[in-house]
Amino acid sequence: MIIAGRSLYTRLVMRVGLVLSISSIALLIAIWISTQLAANEAYDRILTGSALQIAENTWYQNGAVNVDVPLAAFSMLTAGDQVFYVVVDPDGRTIAGDPDFKPEIPWKKLKDGPLLQDGAYLDTPVRMAIVGRRMPVANEHPWAVIVLAQTNNARLSFAKSVGTRALLVILAMGVLTLIAAMFTLYQALSPLKKIEAAIRERDLNDLSPLSITVPVETHALVSSINAFMQRLAVHRATMRRVIGDAAHQLRTPVTALISQMELLSAQHDEAGRRHHLDRLRDRTRHLGALVNQLINHAMVQHRSDTAAFEKIDLGELVRHEMADMLSHQERQLDLAMEAPEQPCLIMGDSISLREAIKNVLGNALQYGAVSFLHVQLEQIENLYELRVIDDGPGIPENDWERIRKPFAPRSGERVGASLGLSIVEEVMRTHGGLLRFGYSGAGSFMVVLSFPAGAPSQT
């Protein structure tokens, strides 16, 4: 069952929107911080410059510190802010400015130059510039100190104004970028709609590969679809072939069986009835063998593409099939099996392998072995060779290729559809092995199955 999830387009748009939102927030924070730093730096320079102007107009005369505060020192400061200042002599007395403005003075740091620090006056946050001017006095702190403070309204307003404008620009650019991204994503996903249309417009019986130009990113998807359709076409062709073979092969024996039943029903004397009963029994046996072979052939063809391989002990499999088949034999035969003591491991489908071995042994018992049947399993380099040897007449060399094909003409009184060795051939092909015929050193006919000791690929 296919469950339709959220649209791929919607997912991509949401992810792009999320990335843009996070980027916009990070950019806005960065702009706000940089704006604050820039505003603080600019206003701190103005504040320090004003304090230095006051310090330049501070001097020592007649045993006292004098100061002439220039109006230009305050004109540089922002009109919208409150300004406080105080000038303190080396003894800590206020000689100019607001006498109530008494910030803590860092006497030991005055020699390092103008100092900037935050503070508060009248419950209002202020930024202060502290400048010391050395006086010619013998005192622990020979400094006349100028402290100039300004409220933070202007710098906060400046940072807010710049941040607001940046926010509006970022929002506008973000919206435009999102719209462009949505359009781009729509265009980028259009090849999927092209693939969908190519499949939807196809005839139900057309399983040929898709022949369209697609982006590299969707090439693997189209290749997988083509591979699936190819496998489906192979399965459908196999099914049609099996149905056609069954219809063709069953038509004659079924017709013969019906005719024999009609002849039996029309026969009145006992000898004639027995004769037709024998013929009916033979026809039924022939039909049963044919149906069984057709089913086995269809099963092997189906499993050649669908069955998963597993690790199998070939020696144990052959022993089991020999024991199962020979348990129904009434003839006295010289039977033997030679195999290595260690497991003979191959990768394969046990059901198909069992069917192949059963067909080889069945042919040897039914049409070959007169007095002996020997089975040999031997490892030769990277192969396992299974040899089934009997003292029967064997198969003429001229027929070795013909009998590998299904429904080859049969010799003698054999029943069935001549599918036994074609089943073996199909199984060996699937397992990367080989079916061949030959003669042993003693001149006995043998059927040889060669299996790779490794893990073959299914084809």
* pLDDT computed for residue 416 by the predictor: 46
Query: How many other C-beta atoms can be found within 10 angstroms of the C-beta atom of residue 31?
Result: 18
Domain residue ranges in the chain: 11-160, 202-306, 308-459
User: Which of these, 442, 323, 428, 438, lies nearest to 384 by C-alpha position?
Assistant: 428
Same fold? 11-160, 308-459: no
Q: Does domain 11-160 have CATH number 3.40.50?
A: no
User: Which of these, 348, 17, 11, 340, lies nearest to 180 by C-alpha position?
Assistant: 17
* pLDDT computed for residue 454 by the predictor: 65
Q: Where do the DSSP E strands lie in 225-353?
A: 310-313, 334-338, 345-348
Question: Which residues neighbour 194 within 8 Å (Cβ) at sequence distance 6 or greater?
Answer: 212, 214
Q: Which CATH architecture has domain 308-459?
A: 2-Layer Sandwich (3.30)
**Count of positions (residues) in the chain:** 459
Question: Which residues neighbour 186 within 8 Å (Cβ) at sequence distance 6 or greater?
Answer: 9
- HSE, side-chain direction, 13 A CA sphere, residue 270: 0
Largest CA distance in the chain: 167
What are the Cα distances from residue 291, in Å, to 6, 65, 97, 248, 361?
A: 51, 127, 120, 12, 19
DSSP type of residue 116: E
The pair of three-digit structure tokens given for residue 103, joined into one six-digit string: 């910030």
Q: Could you read off the pLDDT tens digit of each residue along the chain, which spans 459 residues?
A: 556 667 778 888 888 888 888 988 898 888 888 888 888 888 899 999 999 999 999 998 888 889 998 888 888 787 778 899 999 998 888 999 998 888 988 988 988 889 999 999 888 999 999 999 999 888 888 999 999 999 988 888 888 888 888 888 888 988 898 899 888 888 887 888 888 888 888 887 778 888 888 788 778 888 888 888 887 887 777 677 767 666 666 677 777 778 778 777 777 777 877 877 888 887 787 777 777 767 776 777 766 767 788 899 998 999 998 888 877 777 788 888 898 888 889 998 888 898 889 889 988 888 888 888 999 999 988 899 999 999 888 888 888 888 887 766 555 455 445 677 888 888 898 888 999 999 988 889 999 999 998 644 444
Question: Which residues neighbour 91 within 8 Å (Cβ) at sequence distance 6 or greater?
Answer: 139
* pLDDT computed for residue 253 by the predictor: 73
